[in-house]
Amino acid sequence: MKVLTFFYLWYGTPQYDGYYSHWNHTVLPHWTESVNKQYAQIGTSHKPEDDDLHSPYYPAEGPYSSSDPAKLKAQMLEMASAGVDIAVTSWWGRPSVSSADSQGTQTDPIFPAMLHAAMDTNVKIAFLLEPYHNRNSTNIMTDISYINEQYGQHPSVYKIDDKIVFYVYDHYHIPYTEWKTIVMPEINPKGYYYGLVLNPSDVTNLIDSNFNGGFTYFSSDQMSWGSNSRNWHAVCDKLLAGGLDCDISIGSGYDDTKIRPWNSMNTVSRSAEHFKRQIDWALAAKPTSISITSFNEWGEGTQWESCENRVGYSECLNLEAEMIAGIKINNRNEL
């Protein structure tokens, strides 16, 4: 069984990029104005220069730049040493469409260096297609062609049946009738597509729309029906019966309250017990693969990248390398 982890390239520092990116993340608003009034910090930005990061945890060696080739290599080696097979890497669109994340970060320019860093580490790279502004079916098809042209021949790119693997985040913002056309082999013969499972209807729609698989992403039971470990049997049973792959996402905790202070109801304290329980539930569902959320989404407190204990930040546990080994041992024992 393959073990994947979600990987993000949106970090920047003044020393390398001339400015901070994501470490100084803006505190995001709730969609309800009455809730926003309860949190005076909404709309302000964190200040890394004052030891105020957007994360409840502090990275080993401090804030870093995703553009730093040495850092990228170190990250790939850390993933490889833990037993990760594939890094599902966040991609925010082509530069030509001025696509970026909520903090204005473009990740495509970093992909060449990142793919190079993955060479000789045994870690392959899949693409996490993110929901940039004005993403639609036409743009998605152009994105897929662009990625194939730019990166399709790189030895670090992960493929199934000679097709680049795409995890599509928030795919449901594009109608399923359009996805059925987008993923048709006759139209996009070089793509293998996983869609996000939030609700039971997503499973049915992924099957009907010719996707190749589904993934659950969130590591908190409260976030969605699909992320609730008690539903993973149902998720995998239906996906597999429909001929699709089932990727169950697990993690050791969740805490995004430094960027979404109104979201504490979804906080999951990091613990070995929580992560072990998630692994057991995931393996019991008999998925095609298991993904770990995340290697370095520091703002949501799901990261397993090396961190350090520091006053004012949560305690590091660094559980994942040991747990990944456990996943692979358990899987071998069942073969």
Taking the C-alpha atoms of residue 1 and residue 30, their distance in angstroms, rounded to an integer, is 39
* pLDDT of amino acid 273: 86
Taking the C-alpha atoms of residue 115 and residue 143, their distance in angstroms, rounded to an integer, is 18
> Are residues 239 and 206 in contact, defined by beta-carbon separation less than 8 angstroms?
yes
Residue 26 CB coordination number (10 Å): 16
CA atoms within 13 A on the CB side of 4: 27
* pLDDT of amino acid 274: 86
Q: Radius of gyration (Cα) for the chain, nearest Å?
A: 19
* pLDDT of amino acid 335: 38
Are β-strands 191-196 and 86-91 bridged in parallel, bridged antiparallel, or unpaired?
Answer: unpaired
> Which residue ranges make up each domain of the chain?
2-334
* pLDDT of amino acid 329: 61
* pLDDT of amino acid 104: 84
Taking the C-alpha atoms of residue 61 and residue 228, their distance in angstroms, rounded to an integer, is 34
Residue 6 carries which DSSP code?
E
Sign of the torsion angle spanned by Cα atoms 110, 252, 58, 82:
negative
* pLDDT of amino acid 270: 86
Kindly report, residue by residue over 249-265, the tens digit of the pLDDT.
999 889 999 999 999 99
pTM equals: 0.95
Sequence-ordered alpha helix ranges (H) in the chain: 14-17, 33-36, 69-82, 111-118, 137-151, 176-182, 200-208, 232-241, 272-284, 320-334
Residue 44, both tokens: 């302000």
Sign of the torsion angle spanned by Cα atoms 153, 289, 325, 130:
positive
Taking the C-alpha atoms of residue 86 and residue 19, their distance in angstroms, rounded to an integer, is 30
* pLDDT of amino acid 195: 98
Largest CA distance in the chain: 56
> Are residues 39 and 261 in contact, defined by beta-carbon separation less than 8 angstroms?
yes
Following DSSP, what letter does each residue of 285-307 receive, concatenated? Answer: T--SEEEES-SS-GGGT---S-E
CATH topology of domain 2-334: TIM Barrel (3.20.20)
pLDDT tens over the chain, length 335 residues: 899 999 999 999 999 999 999 999 999 999 999 999 999 999 999 999 999 999 999 999 999 999 999 999 999 999 999 999 999 999 999 988 777 788 888 999 999 999 999 999 999 999 999 999 889 999 999 999 999 999 999 999 999 999 999 999 999 999 999 999 999 888 777 899 999 999 999 999 999 999 999 999 998 888 999 999 999 999 999 999 999 999 999 998 899 999 999 999 999 988 888 888 999 999 999 999 999 999 999 999 999 999 999 999 999 887 767 777 667 666 654 53
Taking the C-alpha atoms of residue 284 and residue 208, their distance in angstroms, rounded to an integer, is 26
* pLDDT of amino acid 50: 97
Closest-CA residue to 22 (of 43, 53, 44): 53
Q: What is the end-to-end Cα distance of the chain in Å, rounded?
A: 10
* pLDDT of amino acid 331: 64
Residue 82, both tokens: 């833990």
Taking the C-alpha atoms of residue 207 and residue 214, their distance in angstroms, rounded to an integer, is 9
> Are residues 226 and 199 in contact, defined by beta-carbon separation less than 8 angstroms?
yes
> Are residues 291 and 4 in contact, defined by beta-carbon separation less than 8 angstroms?
yes
Following DSSP, what letter does each residue of 306-320 receive, concatenated? Answer: -EE--TTSPPP---H
